[in-house]
Structures are given as C-alpha cells and as structure tokens.
Chain A
Amino acid sequence: MESQKKTGRRSSASTMLDPAILVPALGDSVRKLDPRLMVRNPVMFCVEAVAALTTLLLLRDLATGAGNIGFAVQIVVWLWFTLLFANFAEAVAEGRGKAQAASLRKTKTETNAKLLPNNGEGGTDRWQTVPATRLKTGDLVLVEAGDLIPSDGEVVEGVASVNEAAITGESAPVIRESGGDRSAVTGGTQVISDWIKVRITAAPGSTFLDRMIALVEGAQRQKTPNEIALNILLAGMTIIFVIAVATIPSFVAYAGGSVSVLVLVALFVTLIPTTIGALLSAIGIAGMDRLVRFNVLAMSGRAVEAAGDVDTLLLDKTGTITLGNRQASEFLPVSGVAERDLADAAQLASLVDETPEGRSIVVLAKEKYGIRGRDMADRHAHFIPFSAQTRISGIDADGSAIRKGAVDAVLAHVRGAGPTVAASRGGAVAAIRPNALADAAEREVTAIAERVAKAGGTPLAVARDGRLLGVIHLKDVVKGGIRERFAALRQMGIKTVMITGDNPMTAAAIAAEAGVDDFLAQATPEAKLQLIRDEQAKGKLVAMCGDGTNDAPALAQADVGVAMNTGTMAAREAGNMVDLDSDPTKLIEIVEIGKQLLMTRGALTTFSIANDVAKYFAIIPAMFLAFYPQLGALNVMGLASPESAILSAIIFNALVIVALIPLALRGVRYRPVGAASLLRRNLLVYGLGGIVIPFAGIKAIDLIVNAIGLV
C-alpha cells in the first residue's frame, strides 16, 4: 500500500497496462462472453446475438460447402474479436481495482475482539475474546497496544496512537481520542501505543473496509444515472439500425437482387455504436479508479458525476487556501517603544512556545534584529503556557512579566480585569468596550490590530509588566499558485467560496489575496448549511469537505461532500466521498476527475456515432453493387472489392476499440478552460475526427487486406 500510494498518485494508464493486469484480463475477456453478463450491455449483447447467428450459418455452410467460406470465416472471427476487445477493455479497467482489493483483504484477516460485556460495567480487565465478525453495533470493546481494531467505531474512552496504513497507505501513526473530531477509528487499523475503548458503530460486513473492498473491486458497481441514460440512447440507436438493416432485404428483393445475412450483419454491427458500447463501462471503472489512486473513495458513481457538475466549491481557508500556519511578518510597536524592544520581548515570550506561530516569531526576531536564543536556565524563568481559557501565553523572567496573546485578552490582562472570555479569538477587536479604552496605548494597539486584521493578518498584542509594547503581525500565508487555480476554476464556471472562522475583515483581505469569488466569515456549521441551501436554491451544485461531527449536516446537504478520513464517523457517514489523505485541497482535483470522466464518455460517444458516415460509404456500395453497378460511384474510398470493403469495415470497427482502450482508461485530457473552447476542441477532435479517421482507416485496412490476399 505504501509504495502504491507514492507511485500511484497521478500515475498514467501505464500502470494499468502492466502484465500483472493484462494477463488475467485476457482470461476474463472470454469469461465475460457469458450472455448473462453480456445482457447488461445492450449494444454488445446485440453483437453477441448476431455473432452467434452468423456462427451457426457458417457451420451450416461448412456442412453444405456453400458460399464463400473463407470470407465468412473472417467476418465471423472479427465479430467475436469485437466482443473480446470490448470485454478486454472492461477487464483491464477492473484489473487494478481487483489487485488493490486483494491487498485490502489481506488486512481483513480473522481478528479477535476484546468485548467488554454489560457495557463495560465490569471494568477494563473483565473482557472476553470474541471473533470480530460477531460484534454487533453498540458493543463496547477494548483495544490495546498491538491490537488490530476489530471494527469501525467511536472512541468513548482513552487516547491512543493508531497506524492507519492499511486504509490510507500513510504509515505515520495518528492520534485517536474520545470526544472531539478525532474519535473515529476504522476496523483493520492497528493501535500502536496506549489503549482505547471503542463503541462499535458498524454491523458485520458493512464496515468501512468492507465497503472499500467492494468499491475498488467494482463488485457492486452500479451504473451511474448518466451511464443508464446513455445506455438507453445507445439501445435506441441500435433499434433504429435494426430497422434500417432489416428492411434492406425487402428493398433489395424489389430491385431484383439478393443480399446475404452475413453482409447484413456486418453492416449492422458496424453501424451500431459498438465503440462507445464496448468502452462505456471501462470508462466508468477507470474514472472511479482515478479517484481511488488519488486516495479518495467515492461511495457512489453518482457522486463522481456530480463532481463534474459542481458549480460552487466551499473551501476551508486553513490548509486549502492558506498554509496551515500563520507566520509572524512584522513587529508593530506603539509610539514610544522601539521596534527592537518589542521584538526582544516577543522573542523572549516565544522561546518555549512550540506552536508554529511562536516559532515564527523567534525566527523573525532573529532575521530582523539578530536576536539569538537565550539560555533561560539562570533567569528564574517561569513560563505561562497558552490556554484556550486565557488565550495568553508568556514568561516571567528577570523580575518582569511578558505576556502575548489575543489583543482583547492582553488588553484585559493589562487592565487586570482578566480575559474577556466571551469574545472569540481573531474576532476580538470589536468586542472591546470603547469606554474601557482610556489609555492612549490601548487605543493605539487597537488601531494597529484593526489595520493588521484588515490586511488579512492576525494581531497578537505584547505587554511587559502591564505596559503595552505593540502588536505582532501574524500573517496568513496564501499558498503559491492557488490564485491561478481559482482563476482557472472561474473560467470553468465554478465559483469558489472560502470558509473561515476569521472575522469578516480578515476574511475579506485573504479572499482578495487568494482570488476567491466569495467568502463566509465567522462560519458556523449552521451558516455553512445555510450557504449550501442558498446556492442549491439558485440551481447550483455544491461541493465541500469537512471532518467534524458538526460538519455532518452540511456534508449530507452538499451534492459532493468529501469527508476527511481523520474526521468523525458521523462526518464520514454523511459525506459521499472520503479522502483518505484528509487533504481538503483535493476538492479541486476531485472536480477535475469528475469532469474528465464525463468528457471521456462524451468524446467517445461522439466519435462512435460520427464513425457511421464512413462505414455506410464502405458497405452500401459493396452491398448493392451486384445488381446496381452504378452505385460503385458511392465507393468514394476506392475499396478494391465488395468483400474487402465489408471485411475492412468490420476490422476497423473491432480494432478501433483496442486503439481507444488507453484513452478510455486514461481519460480525455482535461484543461481548465471555458465550456465553449473545450467543446470547440473536442468537437473538432472527436466529432470531425470521428468522421474523417474511419475513411482513412478503412482504406488502409483495405489495402492491407488485399496486399496479403485475405479476400
């Protein structure tokens, strides 16, 4: 798994075309000829029916010695090849998933669980061993270091580090603890240290691992809505061609000629949309597989299609638009304080602050003023760690007390009134009561803080011994290249909305810098849900990602809800995709993969239908030439003989399936440009190309067929 994840990402179709997949696929191609399987695909089922019919006729002719046996044998063989090629495409597409499912199954070995009976009332040491498969929803189990977690569940007690490589391919352990957003554990993963009590949430056979195996294997692959509709269209066209071909014998009889069943079958098979019929399911499987290789599990094919249709992307600011950590970028002292003094105090207060923000202050102080790390041991230093309650950290050393933290908290501290608990971090400035700002320094700090917030930064106030020194500007660093990606999304007609807990001012500044179309500041789960509903009411499809339990309603409401694997079970149940890497940036790629899947389907459908023009011109003159020699004028390709024309058309029809397998698996290249230019290009390549290419292809095959004397 580990290596798969590293190499698998973004890898091309070449991984699909390795011998480990190709060889079993050959066998599968034959196995899939079973009519009971074939009937799922109406177009290819028709091909199989007429192939069987012509085979019977061939056997009859062999017995009676009638007709042009050599020609008939070749047609029949190529009909069967057409079917085998179609099956082969599907088998290759399934191959990779099967390999992955097999490796997942290995982790799903028979595990035993330590069941705590009576809801654990007997204490943690009174467990009994039961097979994992017998666990019911609601059972409580104990999992200790070295144990495999027996099934999906929620941690109700304890904290442990868990190796989730079996699922995510990521070997670095993650922390799982009761309460909060990191309480979900997945069956098949392993506890590395400590112990946890887990309440089982999945019934046997429907665990995450089970679903994952079923998904990657494609065992329960259901046709997606668009695939069903496309199949109806293809079936309808097939019926139209049944009529077109079935009426020919009567027309021919009127004209005083005759036409053999073999030739009619050849015309029929080349006319019906076999190319897309053969590749349709391979395209769908390959699209899902692209997501899996991207470490995203789509719980339904419908979700992948919906991803292509997304109009609005809700993106979390932190981690997606900005780098996760804020960086100190400036020291802004109040008047009367030297910048260096502020930097010195800030650095001192941050020396033991191991948060990324704290470290960045130390780095900035060193870069700007050369202030080096100091040895704290001889200074009687006493550190005050940051807490969510006080929102202040600091140091007491050399008889002075330095405090840094949220502006309102530091101001409250300076006034000796204790922190204002009600105000939220970042949204602090507005919460300060103006009548309390008597002091000029306080007013100045507030003004600076406001400026910083307006610029999209987070202000951090610094005070020494009750005196305000100034503000540290913590800057949200927007990821490189993200602006261009949003511009590309906009060209595709996708609106981006940044979701952040920041106050509106900060949010607006970052939104402007990152180039998102809109933002939702001070976002609460309710506000998110409302935003999604509003967008949907305007007829838009919305995608979002989330991890917390309180994200679950929004994830369920969104058309594409990507749950982070690190998230809670509730979030994972609510979303229709799970990102095993827990990387919110992927939402953009998921949309691209969805679009690519739909484009590939459309391109090959168009190509397949456009092909018909040339096939008519190959077969119609050949068919009628015997009694209407004038129709030779329609033989625009100058094919050598009626037999070679028909044979060439049917060979082209079969070979084009093979030729397009790589495209079906890899997908049509996607460019983030507007629909109009995308369409222009694709219509040119697959529409016009679909008309022209078979003329050249059939002619070339005809030359070869005659050169080696096949007819």
Chain B
Amino acid sequence: MTVNGWILILLFAALVAAVARPLGGFMTRVFTGERTLLSPVLRPVERGLYRLAGVDEKTEQHWVTYAVAMLLFNLAGMLLLYGMQRVQGLLPFNPQGMAAVPADLAFNTAASFTTNTNWQNYGGEGTMSYFVQMAGLTVHNFVSAATGIALAVALVRGFARAGCRTVGNFWVDLTRCTLYVLLPLSFVVALFLVWQGVPQTLGAAVDATTLEGAKQTIALGPVASQEAIKMLGTNGGGFFNANSAHPFENPTALTNLIQMLSIFALGAGLTNLFGRMVGDERQGWAILAAMGVLFFLGVTLAYWAEAQGNPALTALGIDTAAGNMEGKETRFGIAASALFAVVTTAASCGAVNAMHDSFMPLGGMVPMINMMLGEIIIGGVGAGLYGMLLFAIIALFVAGLMVGRTPEYLGKKLEAKEVKMTMLAVLCLPVMMLGWTALAVVLDTGTASMANAGPHGFSEALYAYVSAAANNGSAFAGLTGNTLWYNLTLAVGMLVGRFFVIVPMLAIAGSLAAKTRAAASAGTFPTHDTLFVGLLVGVILIVGGLTFFPALALGPVVEHLAMNAGTLF
C-alpha cells in the first residue's frame, strides 16, 4: 500500500461526500415537484410527455397501483428488448451486420438490462448492433436506473408521510428522474469522456495495420453516451467486452476517478434526499456514514490484499513489491483497481477496470461480500437506499426494544407487517445466491463452465450468482456464462433479486405512509448518531453477512489459506 494509493482513496471519499448534499437537494426538488434550474427547458417536455401518455401528474397512486405500474413497465421493456435482439439483423444501424441473438442469451440479456444488472454473457462489440446498443441497452440503462430511484423515493415518502394512502405516481417519478436527473448528468459526463478520448460515433469499425503488419479491426461506436449512463445509473454494462478496462471506455486516470464518482454520486445523493424528505438531514448522513464504514472496511481489505502480491511468485524470486498486477491495467495500478472493484460492487454497477478473477483470494472476496450484503454500500441507484433502509428496519427491530419502547423508525412504528415484508425481501437474496450455486457446483452442466478447479472454480460460480441476484452484473471471469444453464438460471436470479425485493419493499412504503407519526422525545431511539451507525453496521455484518460464511470459507478463505501454504488453484 502506498501513500499515493491512500490519497486517491481518501480523495475519492471526500468527493463522494461533497456531491451528496447538492445532488440530494436537487433530487428532492425534482421529486417533490418543485421548480429547478432546468424547469424552464424541461418542464414543457415533461408536460408534453404526460399529455402524450395520458398521465395525470396530480393523481397519486396507492402502493399496489404503483407496483403494478412499475411491473408492467418493466415487463413491456423486457419483452421489447428481447424482441429487438432477436430481429436485430432486420433493424438499421448495423454496419457490422450482426445476426440475431440466440433465444437464451437474448432472454438473459433482456432480464439483465431490465433489472439494472447488466450481466453480459456476450461481448458487446461482437454481438450487438449499434441500434440494439443505443435503442435497447442504453435506453434500459436509463429506465432501469430511473425505476430504482423512483422506488427508493416511494419508500422515503412512506417514512416522510403520515396518514396517507398514496406513495407517489410511478409514471411521474420515472419521467422526472429520467428527464431532470439522469439525462442532464449523463450529457455532462459524456461530454467529459469525449474530451478525454472516448469515441462517440455511428461509423463502422476501423481496420488498421499494426506495426508488425498484422490486420486489426478497431471497434468503435457511440461509446461515451453509453458509458456515462452505465456509471451514473449503476448499470455497468460495457460497450466493449473488456468494459472499463478497455482504453476506449476508460482511457485515463481522470476518467477512472470520474467514472467511480459517477457510480456513487446519485446513490450518495439519495441518502441526503432521504434526510431532507423526512425532515432531518442527519438521518441521511447516518445512513451514508454506515455505508462509509462498510466501504472503508472493504477498501482496506481489498487494497491490502492486492498490494501484497502473490507469495507463489515471490517464492520464484520475482519482485512483487508492486503488488498483484495480474489482470490489471498498468495505467490504473493497484490502488485505483482495488478501489474500482470495491466501488463497482458496493454500488450495483458491475463495470470493471480489472479482472476480479485475477485478484488475490481475499481481494476478490471483498467484491463478493459487498454483493452478498445486498449492495447496500451506496448500492444501485435507489436500490442501495431501500436495501439499506430494510436493514435499518431489521436493526431497529432487533435492538430498538432495548430503549424500552416498541420499535420505531422516524416516528413510524415497525410492526408485524413491516417485519414480514422486510424478511421476505431479505430472504430472496440468499435463496438465489446460495441455492443456484449449490446446484451449479454439483451439476455437470454447471461445473463444465468453470475455468479453474477447487475453491477458485467454486468462487467463479458463486460470484456469478451473487452478482446476478444482487443485480450487480460484474463477472469474476473464468466462467463461461453463455450456456443454456447459466443464461436461464442467472436470468431467474436477476429477476427474483430485483422484483422479489421491490414488491415487499413497496408494501412497506404503503404501510408506513398510512401510519401516524409518533412524536420524538428523549425516550425515542436516536437514529442519527454514531451508536446507530455502529448498530446498523453490526446487524448488516451479522444478519446479512454471516449467512455466507460457510460459502466464503469454502471459496476465497480456503484459497487464501492454501495459497499461503503454497497451493494454487
């Protein structure tokens, strides 16, 4: 570990903390329907869209209606994306003449982009036409992110309101989020990336002759625009197979920093929105602080592990002082790669600038733990906040009684219904992550895809399902995912991991909104101080993390111990 490395990590953390408040303030105005700086330009567009769709922006929805609207919208989007891939040969903007995507892969990809996962069982430059990339994938990058944010806002409204039947209007939230938040920010970030050298063209790939005289096809395309929303919307689906390790996606150290910041920006801002909407910004800071503690724990472990270098190489007399550089880009180095890996899995982004498969066992374990916890460390846009709030409900339910009152959060009594829905939401992650892994590692069709044996192969399969169910989308690599088995099971993991969390969460939002608000007093459990942050972190690690202890022990932990003993897998 170097001083430079730590300066980068601390600078990054400071930048995230700095953007949280202004973004939170802006988003609060957007979602409460107040005027913003962009209103003069965008308000007519917004009104036009409502008129076109026949949406009355004044009418709010009961949580069930909100959930149905959200599900229908996502179903329609998924079907459309599936169809688009299947007939891409007939569609325009296909200079490379890409053929139709096979059914199982198209299904997997449709589920992946609808759920904001962006797991890619394909190489973008070799499979998808420009049209599918732009009209299909990039559009989903926007709307799946907007869906997540809208849902988080609905839950926050549940806490903020009292005696209210409705939680907002899904169509309005979706439109406002896309129009006022995602589009303008993406525009700015895309321009920045173009300036840094990221291509943005509809022209075909370029054929070049290398110095050795070999012919090489250099893939191009509308990269910058997809790159911006890939980060801001915590999507993670790269234009190129190599994702953010590719020099055309992430050319410089500066783009690397801005890309990481883009991943965290909206998620961090939402915690502030939460604080503002419930009328006490400290509540938002406490949530962000809990995320921060977990983030630093992860970064420290991952950076330390990667900085160590592989003892097997050291034993061969190779200088590993630079750390474990396998699978990393030299223009980023250890710290920026380890940090990126933690950021991308803490949030539900899944973009990668280094190969997680080549990380040291413990370095690769950190991204896994981040995802196993349900991506609540900043998390996917919206998803991170509601995931964290679900954990806050558990924490307060377990420990809240210790102040001698029945559990409450922000004046809302936590009762049987909230607990039931929270447990339903929390349960589906281990079912998907551990259940599918358990099947994959004993079925031939599952093990056939693993590139490595032993604990490392196990980690590859585990990582895939964890990434899918957590809607992350990053891959450990080493696993051949484009098989019928993995295409289907991973798609199920992604869909369950997304929608089986969302629906109970919305039920909680509806139930909370209907409740009266209990007045705060000196006897109320304080949820804005360090004690609460510590409690929340403890509950997340014990309730959310320990479930995966056996699996981790059999994967990265044993691999690490074996490596130190001189055995590699």
Contact = CB atoms under 8 A, between A and B. Distances in A.
Contacts of B553: 620-621, 624, 631, 634
B404 A598 contact: yes
Interface string A670-684: 100011101110110
B398 A675 contact: no
B434 A243 contact: yes
Q: Is the interface of A mostly helix, strand, loop or mixed?
A: helix
A433 interface: no
B40 interface: no
Interface stretch (B79-87, B327-335, B472-480, B515-523): B515-523
Interface string B509-551: 0000000111101111110010100110011001100111111
Given A233-B394, A240-B426, A254-B458, A675 B547 contact: no
B536 to A, nearest CB: 12
A493 B441 contact: no
B522 A232 contact: no
Nearest to B425: A236
Contacts of B516: 539
B403 A233 contact: no
Given A248-B550, A598-B405, A631-B557, A254 B441 contact: yes
Contacts of B418: 229
A649 to B, nearest CB: 14
Contacts of B547: 240-241, 243-244
A508 interface: no
B178 interface: no
Contact of A633 (B403, B455, B518, B561): B561
B42 interface: no
Interface in B545-566: 546-551, 553-554, 557-558, 561-562, 565
Nearest to B462: A251
Contacts of A239: 423, 427
A305 B427 CA distance: 28
Contact of A250 (B415, B439, B548): B439
B242 interface: no
A370 to B, nearest CB: 51
Nearest to B401: A602
Contacts of A623: 550
Given A225-B415, A254-B458, A628-B558, A237 B522 contact: no
Nearest to B534: A683
A308 B398 contact: no
Contact of A599 (B397, B404, B554): B404
Interface in B443-480: 447, 454-455, 458
Given A612-B546, A613-B542, A247 B438 contact: yes
Nearest to A668: B402
A376 to B, nearest CB: 58
A245 B407 CA distance: 30
Interface string B95-119: 0000000000000000000000000
A683 B430 contact: no
Contact of A309 (B405, B439, B454, B531): B405
Contacts of B534: 683
Given A251-B551, A598-B405, A620-B549, A229 B522 contact: no
A253 B439 CA distance: 11
Most interface-central of B426, B455, B558 (chain A CB within 10 A): B558
A374 interface: no
A240 B442 contact: no
Most chain B CB within 10 A, of A229, A605, A678, is at A229
Interface string A246-280: 11101111110000000000000000000000000
B91 to A, nearest CB: 43
A372 B447 CA distance: 107
B442 A253 contact: yes
Contacts of A255: 454-455, 458, 554
Contact of B442 (A248, A254, A682): A254
Interface string B386-414: 00000000100111111111110001001
Contacts of A680: 531
A491 interface: yes
B49 interface: no
A247 B402 contact: no
Contacts of B518: 309, 311, 539-541
Interface in A585-639: 594-596, 598-599, 601-603, 605-606, 609-610, 612-613, 616, 620-621, 623-624, 628, 630-631, 633-634
A229 B402 contact: no
Q: Is the interface of B mostly helix, strand, loop or mixed?
A: helix
Given A232-B416, A247-B438, A606 B402 contact: yes
Contacts of A509: none
A494 interface: yes
Given A610-B542, A630-B562, A251 B554 contact: yes
Q: Chain A, interface size: which category?
A: 35 or more
B523 A674 contact: yes
A246 B550 CA distance: 11
Nearest to B400: A602
Nearest to B436: A247
B441 A686 contact: no
A244 B554 CA distance: 13
Contact of A630 (B524, B531, B558): B558
A678 B401 CA distance: 11
B164 interface: no
B116 to A, nearest CB: 24
Contacts of B517: 539
Given A539-B517, A613-B546, A308 B416 contact: no
Interface in B201-255: none
Given A232-B416, A612-B542, A634 B557 contact: yes
Contacts of A490: 522
A674 B522 CA distance: 6
Interface string A567-592: 00000000000000000000000000
B420 interface: yes
Interface string A205-238: 0000000000000000000011011101101110
Contacts of B455: 255, 628
A687 interface: yes
A253 B438 CA distance: 10
A229 B416 contact: yes
A682 B554 contact: no
Contacts of A236: 419-420, 422-424, 426-427
Contact of A247 (B435, B454, B529): B435
Nearest to B432: A243
B431 interface: yes
Interface string A88-113: 00000000000000000000000000
B402 A491 contact: no
B437 interface: yes
Interface of B: 162, 394, 397-407, 411, 414-416, 418-420, 422-424, 426-427, 430-431, 434-435, 437-439, 441-442, 447, 454-455, 458, 516-519, 521-526, 529, 531, 534-535, 538-539, 542-543, 546-551, 553-554, 557-558, 561-562, 565
Closest 8 CB pairs of A and B: A602-B401, A493-B523, A236-B423, A493-B521, A595-B404, A493-B522, A630-B561, A250-B438
Given A233-B419, A240-B547, A675-B404, 6 more contacts: A239-B427, A243-B547, A540-B518, A599-B403, A620-B553, A675-B523
Interface of A: 225-226, 228-230, 232-233, 235-237, 239-241, 243-248, 250-255, 305, 308-309, 311, 490-495, 538-541, 594-596, 598-599, 601-603, 605-606, 609-610, 612-613, 616, 620-621, 623-624, 628, 630-631, 633-634, 670, 674-676, 678-680, 682-683, 686-687
23 contacts: A229-B415, A232-B423, A236-B419, A236-B422, A240-B430, A240-B547, A243-B547, A247-B550, A309-B518, A311-B523, A492-B523, A494-B523, A595-B405, A596-B404, A598-B406, A602-B400, A609-B539, A616-B546, A624-B558, A630-B565, A674-B523, A676-B529, A683-B402
